[in-house]
Amino acid sequence: MNPRGISMDIAIIGAGLGGLAAAVALQHHGHRPVIFDKTRELGEVGGPLGISPQTLRLFGEWGIVDGFDEISSATQYFENRDQLGQLEKITDYAATPEAGAEHGRFGYADSDLAPRTVHRADLHGLLVSAVGPEQVRLRHELSGITERDDHVELTFADGEVVRAGLVIAADGLRSRARKMFSDDDIHYCGSVIFRAVSPAECLAIPNDRLRSWHSADYAKHVISMPVRAGRQVAVDATLGVDEPPLHLWSARADLQALAGQFDEFDPVVGQMLRAATGPVYMHPVYDRDPIDRWTTARVALLGDAAHPMTPFGGQGANQAIQDAAELATQIAAAPNGDYTEALQRYQRVRTERTAEIQRAARGYADRRARVSLRLADILVR
């Protein structure tokens, strides 16, 4: 035993939606994992997420569905419009559970339960409360991970060492733990997304559904959805841009310049963007190729660390949460802390499905054309 080390049963790296969902699911089965995250504070980050009926059922099992209903909105309808606002298609998820086979197959549509939309920060806050903030250790950046016969040794950037019987690595797109399994690199998918949140009053129409507008070549695409139980509308405005944008993750948009990119769109798009109540950050879209192996005897990858995908299929958060449920179920069934088989079963169930979704999500990115644009012209200098 390392004299400086502390020991625990299960450690989770990453307090994103995947890591937190894993903690909630494990607590449901009587475990008390500790979560480590490199961030200094948990704050208001991200934009809108669509949550599928399959994920909602897990929230029901974990006893958090009432809390979730308070912060989210049911969105039974999805309207697709061209850039001028002409309606192309309206999907009623209840009447057509097979709608959008790419989503329906993985449980996005359901005749009994409408999907719901939520701001990532609100779902994140709900999961932190469910786990208990005392279980989350911030300012812990994983720098090393070594697997021994009877434990895993985690080393953090400040030199602290932790020993755990089992490690769930939910450390996102740029996962440190993934290096145990693959030396692959992140892949730029040719788009950047600007995420805005605006008051619902900026819409002259009810804020009760998913809506999207797109240019004919999909180089420009906007999706909006209700968040904060309908009080606000969240907008993801996507531009196809050739160059990986200097690996900028959080550059801020100049709102007028960004809205100007959508001058030829239905005016409601510009209205929503100009009405943003907070800074609008740019998120370049990256993913990775699927990999077959995510687990060892004592380490399991989960969420974006295992299968980062573009957000265009609306599945990144849903799949991370569904990973969490499957992994916790398998761990709960493991005899006397012998996790090897449990992790293998988890890997078998989840790799094939998520690889298919990853490929589909990249396909949506690949079909988008690019605009000729200097990103610097729409960013705050």
Ligand X SMILES: Cc1cc2nc3c(=O)[nH]c(=O)nc-3n(C[C@H](O)[C@H](O)[C@H](O)COP(=O)(O)OP(=O)(O)OC[C@H]3O[C@@H](n4cnc5c(N)ncnc54)[C@H](O)[C@@H]3O)c2cc1C
Nearer to ligand X, 132 or 337 (CB): 132
User: What secondary structure letter does DSSP report for 213?
Assistant: E
171 binds ligand X (CB under 6 A): yes
Q: How far is the CB of 301 from ligand X (least distance, A)?
A: 9
**Residue 119-148 contact track with ligand X, rule CB under 6 A, x = bound:** -x-------------------xxx------
Task: Tabulate helix, strand, coil % of the chain (nearest 5).
Answer: 35, 25, 40
Which segment (61-69, 82-90, 297-305, 353-361) binds ligand X by CB under 6 A? 297-305
Q: How far is the CB of 95 from ligand X (least distance, A)?
A: 26
Q: How far is the CB of 250 from ligand X (least distance, A)?
A: 8
Q: Residue 99, Cα to own-chain centre: how many angstroms?
A: 22
User: Which DSSP string do the residues of 91-126 spell out, in sequence order?
Assistant: EETTT-TTSTHHHHTTTS--SSS--EEEEHHHHHHH
Residue selected from 320, 325, 327, 343 as contacting ligand X according to rule CB under 6 A: 320
CA distance 87 to 80: 6
Q: How far is the CB of 227 from ligand X (least distance, A)?
A: 10
Nearer to ligand X, 82 or 187 (CB): 187
CA distance 81 to 266: 9
For ligand X (CB under 6 A), the number of binding residues is: 32
Nearer to ligand X, 14 or 226 (CB): 14
Contacts of 98-103 spanning 24+ positions with Cβ under 8 A: 102/313, 102/360, 103/52, 103/313, 103/314, 103/315
Which segment (39-47, 62-70, 93-101, 340-348) binds ligand X by CB under 6 A? 39-47
Question: For 321, left (φ over 0), alpha (ψ -120 to 50), or beta?
Answer: alpha
176 binds ligand X (CB under 6 A): yes
Element (H, E) at 209: none
Which residues from 1-30 bind ligand X, rule CB under 6 A? 13-19
CB atoms within 10 A of CB 34: 19
311 binds ligand X (CB under 6 A): yes
Nearest Cα residue to 167 out of 327, 336, 380: 327
109's CB contacts (< 8 A; 6+ apart) are: 53, 91, 93, 94, 96, 97, 98, 99, 100, 103, 115
Residue selected from 10, 24, 118, 317 as contacting ligand X according to rule CB under 6 A: 317
Q: How far is the CB of 264 from ligand X (least distance, A)?
A: 26
Q: How far is the CB of 260 from ligand X (least distance, A)?
A: 23
CA distance 25 to 340: 19
Question: For 295, left (φ over 0), alpha (ψ -120 to 50), or beta?
Answer: beta
Q: How far is the CB of 359 from ligand X (least distance, A)?
A: 16
Residue selected from 34, 130, 170, 225 as contacting ligand X according to rule CB under 6 A: 170
Q: How far is the CB of 141 from ligand X (least distance, A)?
A: 4
Nearer to ligand X, 45 or 246 (CB): 45
CA distance 123 to 120: 5
Residues that bind ligand X (CB under 6 A): 13-19, 36-39, 45-47, 49, 120, 140-142, 170-173, 176, 195, 303-305, 311, 316-317, 320
